[in-house]
Amino acid sequence: MASEKKTVLTAAHWGPMLVETDGDTVFSSRGALATPFENSLQTAVRDQVHSKTRVRFPMVRKGFLTSPDNPRGVRGQDEFVRVSWDEALDLIHAQHKRIRESYGPASIFAGSYGWRSNGVLHKAATLLQRYMSLAGGYTGHLGDYSTGAAQAIMPYVVGGNEVYQQQTSWPLVLEHSDVVVLWSANPLNTLKIAWNASDEQGIPYFDALRKSGKRLICIDPMRSETVDFLGDAAEWIAPHMGTDVALMLGIAHTLVENGWQDSDFLDHCTQGYEIFAAYLSGDSDGTPKTAEWAAEICGVPAAKIRELAAIFHHNTTMLMGGWGMQRQQFGEQKHWMMVTLAAMLGQIGTPGGGFGLSYHFANGGNPTRRAAVLASMQGSVQDGIDAVDKIPVARIVEALENPGAPYQHNGMDRHFPDIRFVWWAGGANFTHHQDTNRLIRAWQKPELVVISECYWTAAAKHADIVLPATTSFERNDLTMTGDYSNQHLVPMKQVVTPRDEARDDFEVFADLSERWETGGRQRFTEGKSDLQWLETFYNIAAQRGASQQVTLPPFASFWQANQLIEMPESEQNAQFVRFADFRRDPQAHPLKTASGKIEIYSARIASFGYADCPAHPMWLEPDEWHGNAEPEQLQVLSAHPAHRLHSQLSYSHLREQYAVAGREPITLHPQDAAARGIQEGDVVRVWNQRGQVLAGATISDGIRPGVLCIHEGGWPDLDPQAGGICKNGAVNVLTKDLPSSRLGNGCAGNTALAWVEKYTGPALTLTAFDPPPSS
């Protein structure tokens, strides 16, 4: 008999939430913070817990179970067999031991970071790596899919990664900026989430910006939700995809033409400008980067480019850069050129001027609070062996294809490890990696693939062993809101009992550690239960808070109260200006670059000799773009979706808000649709040499002609009986798997061309969210 209904406070990436439950069933969920802006993701807890897509029991692929030492069948096409938890863990342990003893720790890839469930204890990848560390080491990963190019180049340019650092505070932007440029950023979508829990302050700041009377410019091939939100306050400029560097060069050339560059700032605060200036003027290569030259490449009229230069020069201008433009071939050049343009304007380090690369993520610019900040499970385990090797996260397929092969990364000569065992926990690589068909082929190579999952994702369907994990609503945890602000400390109390046989990763890896060695459970858990770990993390927060004059109640009373704690504001942090100290005195406050200054030319990068990442920002023509498209091809934009976090919540009721003809939507310009006889709501086939997908047509003048948009994160649903077509419109079936450059080896998912036609084949039933066949 169900107990009475109660409301439990918890949190997810999309913020603190109040969940109505009787302890067994979730009835509803809503945001816990007062905000006028609805976040649709906060309504999906019921779907997360009760979805038909849940992995209910430990499952083993039939061809693997029959012969674990010499598996049969094909991953992704085999049926699964239910086994007990002991059988599953014994099977994993035996194969783990065999592979480690035969090939060494580098042969075991302990997953990448994944977007995980939120919380400081139950971080799946961290717990997996803790277990592998105690077992003797593993191969880990470098970088991430979001910002692989930017986080590699920015340390050379400004001495930090910038993409995950606090921005000039919003109160100062609202006071001092005259012009705000959203360049390849769509904060209305991306501020619904944070790596921890969202503090939900970012959209209100953009709302204040909308009402401020400031000049707002959005540069993006698509008229995003943010452009619509800003309405008449914003101007939308749509260049060809992938041509942002050319557009910026045209603006920069116009600055020099008019003598508008800030020579004093360039002399005192930058290194190597004169070398870049010779490229800009054409002295070094014979091609002046004029507004007319740029217009030919980017499709923005030369007059508009000159106008932008004048606007940026005559006003306090904040360039808010998004990450989509660096998820491209030569992505390192995009943010490097943005910093160079900001340096030429001379406003870096001023209140309201310069550039910022995380205003659109996790509410960067919301001032950091005086906070008691939680500790977490992150970090090495005592006496463990951490990663013995690391591969760039977006090169996993090449590593599987070419064990032992040499490759370059960030100036280093490296070799891919010989990966025999892949364990992925808390992530969905089949939705975030490019060229899905190539991934599937490479995925057949390891001897063992284990996936820890809540849901039957494509990765789970391509595993040998699948372990059912609890959702964050079926366990206890803690979190902070605001990756930069640390605005709240939030209890994440268990909302419902675990479904079916789902177990916490913490318990699973403790059990496996005991199989590995007597006393292994004790080493893994350090003798603490989940609540004891949470109390430890909370008490560390209390110590940290004391230094900020913040007092926390005892853990027991905090946990009993089921209330979030808001941290006090900091007047000092509300006045934070990024690079202010450096600007004021570059010698006393040098950057962590080779010269201590902003490096427009990098001698270090020059020494690497990379043709795909030269020593100063340059326009480099991508392998696939508007400029070399075959007849009828369109550029593929894989933008961030509005009603899910990448692939999370794809199966939820929120799908009803965006699916067209039951599939992922594809946005086409009216003239591109008319040329192909496509009407609103039609099922269309999108294809290139890498694969083909079905999608539902949405026709809009809010996209540049020659560009199509399919949002990333759709679950692959390949139909082997229908030529391998993806029935759900997963865009990475089409995207090109190549590194941004040899410097960053970042994801280049926004570099692809494809054809589109009205689909006339047989009706195909969607199976993306159905569990696989089992016996």
Active site residues: 113, 115
Strands (E), 14-79: 15-21, 26-31, 59-61
What secondary structure does DSSP assign to 84-99, as a single string? -HHHHHHHHHHHHHHH
User: DSSP state, 533?
Assistant: H
Phi, psi dihedral angles at 604 (to 5 degrees): -65, -45
The residues pairing with 636 across neighbouring beta strands, listed in sequence order, are: 708
User: DSSP state, 54?
Assistant: B
CA 467 to chain centre: 24
As a three-state string, the secondary structure of 393-429 is: HHHHHHHHHCCCCEEEECCEEEECCCCCEEEEECCCH
**Maximum alpha-carbon separation in the chain:** 81
- Residue 354 DSSP SS3: strand
Please state, in angstroms and as integers, the Cα–Cα distance from residue 209 to each residue in 212, 538, 696, following that order: 5, 36, 34
732 known ligand binder: yes
418 known ligand binder: no
- As a whole number of angstroms, the distance between CA 382 and CA 265 comes to 48
- As a whole number of angstroms, the distance between CA 597 and CA 582 comes to 9
- As a whole number of angstroms, the distance between CA 89 and CA 513 comes to 10
505 known ligand binder: yes
Considering only CA atoms, which of 169, 214, 168 is closest in space to residue 355?
A: 168
- As a whole number of angstroms, the distance between CA 377 and CA 380 comes to 9
One-letter identity of residue 211: K
Considering only CA atoms, which of 424, 545, 555 is closest in space to residue 124?
A: 424
What secondary structure does DSSP assign to 180-226, as a single string? EEEES--HHHHTT--SSB--S-HHHHHHHHHTTT-EEEEE-SB--HH
Consecutive H or E run containing 313: helix 302-314
Tokens of 751: 């570099």
115 known ligand binder: yes
One-letter identity of residue 437: N
Four-CA torsion 187, 188, 194, 197, nearest 10 degrees:
150
- 750 within 8 A of 334, measured Cβ to Cβ: no
- 423 φ/ψ sector (left φ>0, alpha ψ -120 to 50, else beta): beta
Binding site feature residues: 115, 327, 432, 475, 505, 732
